[in-house]
Structure 1
Amino acid sequence: MAKKFKRSYKFAIKTSLYITLFLSVVLAGFAYFTSGFLTGPFFAFIFITYLVCFFIIQYRVEHFIYKRIKKIYDNVSLLDSTTLQPSQVTTDMATLTREVEKFTKDKKLEIETLKVREAYRKEFMGNVSHELKTPLFTVQGYILTLLDGAMKDKAVRKKYLQRASKGVERLIYIVRDLDMITKLEAGDLHLEEEDFNIVELVQGSFDLLEMKAAKKNITLTFDIEYEEPIWVNADRDRIQQVLTNLIVNSIKYGKEDGTTEVSIENLIKNKVIVRVTDNGEGIEKENLPRVFERFYRVDKSGSRKEGGSGLGLSIVKHIIEAHNEKIYVESVFGVGSEFSFTLEKSKDLPEINTEI
């Protein structure tokens, strides 16, 4: 309280005292030279003078400071001056200092965030440009070659048209995936949730990708033999897409003669967790936080020999989040990776037997 009083009135008290002392000396000198006497009314006059000076100075200083601080609030637009009270300014000037410091910190954080977003935007635009221009230039090259005279050779014409068609298919694939991500982010993609057997769905994904895995002699397998069905509630087609993308990814970056293993485990009472594990090349630690970004590739060489749109993991993340579920990634470089996601159990889901 004493500190607050000192901050509020120190200037007014001292200034009033100086003025009162000056008037007292002047009045005393006048009385002395005019043979007057310092009587009771003289001291009353001194006291009243001090009080009047104090209140006038306090009011004027308070008004003076308030007007200028309010102008700072208005000009900088960092605070709402309509809620500013004079007492807030004059009784504790540290309030403004704290709020300005807070404003500065917030703006600094905002600027840093904008810089990160700008860097991400530039990288994203560069990736989009790279992904699109490769098939576009390929298609353009084949068509120009045909127009320059190669069209007359039937064998060349057919081969070039087939290659141009593959380039167009890749463009359609990229645009379709981008459209899906946009719909997922905007909440425009409707999920048709139903009860289905996740074990059967995984086995279906294995069957679809068996030939692709055979090219690298990669074994697609469960961690154990699931004799009973495991029922979950989700959009079957979208979860099929999630499993396909994750298994394709494990094959793409897996080692020759490797293994892709899927396990389904109880997580909590109403959840299961599906794990897709491989013993491939793994992901370096610094790349893990970005694996779900659009077009982000761990392979910095920019090679497209493995195909794909570069949007697979981003789509996986958005589909799982659209189900209000979680997706996780763990990896040790040179050892392998594990992608896992949660799903809601069906109401009549049997207990999962995790014993071999």
Structure 2
Amino acid sequence: MIIDIIAGARPNFMKIAPIIDAIKQKKNDGYDINYRLIHTGQHYDKKMSGDFFDQLGIPAPDANLDAGGGSQAEQTAAIMVRFEQELLLHRPNLVIVVGDVTSTMACAITAQKLHVKVAHVEAGIRSDDWTMPEEINRLVTDSITNYFFTTSEVANNNLRNSGIGDERIFFVGNTMIDTLLKNKANFICPSIWQEANLSDRNYFVLTLHRPANVDQEHQLKELMAKIIENSRGLPVIFPVHPRTAKNLQGLGIEAPNLFFIEPLSYLEFNYLVQRAKMVVTDSGGITEETTVMGIPCITLRNNTERPETVTIGTNELIGTDPRAIKPAFEKLFNGNWKNGNIPPLWDGNTAVRIVDHLCELNAAGNL
């Protein structure tokens, strides 16, 4: 059995690393299983992709499609054209796509058009917000996927409600958490720790990149003003996403306790998250990591595709209205933040379960 594993953007690398490890272990146990790693090149900045290969022990890709840059349509087209060429040269039994980035959708479509089966890791999650490119990617990918590996019962029900039979749904957990738990002991203290004189539970970590928060000057300035105003002078560490950096230029946002820094590597970023007083974000994946690490988190969005981080974990969904920031910070400072728990099967063994299921499907002649 030969499996193509697709990765192209920062969130993907956290999700594929444990799958590769689990395949290697299965092969060592005597199973006929091999993989090819296909890097689409969707993210081409070293901090956005390159560091993951070094820090997470991901082997060099078997193919790099170099499809970075351009609009989403241009990226999608480039990935599809180049992945089609790759499939014609090296046809696998299965293509694994992960998450919800452009590469996920583009490679799923390309594989199916060449009659290669597709498995989607992190299938079934939904925000119901069609203004998000990721939601379109999820819907399209899940509409043409053969096998669905899910992170929660909510995702299972989303798939069932769309007509997917239980025989194709595998509730396995969260591979991002596999990577997090494996690497906790290897987190790296970034230079900002000394530069800002940080200490445990005495600073905030901020990330923003969603268009609703960063594309409108007034909204971005108001959010930043409320975060600074309510931080009570504690350091606010803001690793700035390239998209956000462009929009911040010329706005004159500054404060003595606000630290704009370059994007951090995975191990450096999670060192900060693990020791933060709270994380303020509009990212979905970060809310999963804060939930497992027990760190308070507020999400500046009106919806989330990861509701278990709110219903079970440490995350609170407060919307994009800057006025919602003050009561959330007051709740934290007053010691009233919920404790949170870890969702079922977020235990570090998700990738092993995925590969076990794939071997069972192959043995049954379904791959």
Query: TM (normalized to structure 1)?
Result: 0.21
Higher relative CO (CA 8 A, sep ≥ 6), structure 1 or 2? Answer: 2
